[in-house]
Structure 1
Amino acid sequence: MMDISGKYLYTIRSANGVLVENLQVYGKSRTEADDKIRQMYWRCEIISCDIVKDLKARAPHIKMQWVRP
């Protein structure tokens, strides 16, 4: 998996077996984000990790033009 700076979305299983979803962590790389998760949730199992896409950057540009009646 490529390391990309940004926000990462995690699903983990904590040490006591509870499933925790939608954890969002910023990191310069996937490795740094993993380390932050493991500091907050000691002995957790990372089930999935995805990069969060920046929706504002992908918004279409709409050009408005005023038309006189």
Structure 2
Amino acid sequence: MQPPVVTKFGFRIRTRVGMVVDNLMIPGRDEIEARNKLRQIYRDCEILACVCVRGSVRTPVTSFEDVVSLITR
């Protein structure tokens, strides 16, 4: 059985007080679901742009030892 497909959508919005928020990532099965979730969080916001972010590769988590070795160089 396949897991449900969830896609992330990147939004650029203007809040009701006029602040612009860039790169706001909301997961959803489709754009309509993501917009509905966004409107629950940011009521009366104006959506300026929406981009579908699919198949992004996760970068491996950096270990503490790797960070220390970078600092001590």
Counterpart in 1 of 2:17?
16
Instruction: Tell me how far 1:55 sits from its aligned partner.
Output: 3.0
Give aligned pairs, total. Answer: 54
TM-score by length of 1: 0.71
Identity %: 36
Aligned to 1:36: 37
Letter in 1 for 2:24: L
3-state DSSP class of the match of 2:17?
Answer: coil
Task: Report the equivalent of 1:6.
Answer: 7
Contiguous gaps of at least 5 residues in structure 2: 58-73
Cα RMSD, aligned residues only: 1.8
Q: Whose radius of gyration is greater, 1 or 2?
A: 1
Structure 1: how far apart are the matches of 2:56 and 2:36? 26
Instruction: Give the Cα separation in 2 of the matches to 1:53 and 1:15.
Output: 29
CA apart distance, 1:7: 0.3
* 1:8-60 Cα distance to aligned partner (Å, 9 max, x none): 0000000000001110010011000000110000000000000113232xxxx
Q: Which amino acid aligns with 1:14?
A: T
Query: What's the secondary structure of 2:10's corresponding residue?
Result: strand
Larger helix fraction of residues: 2
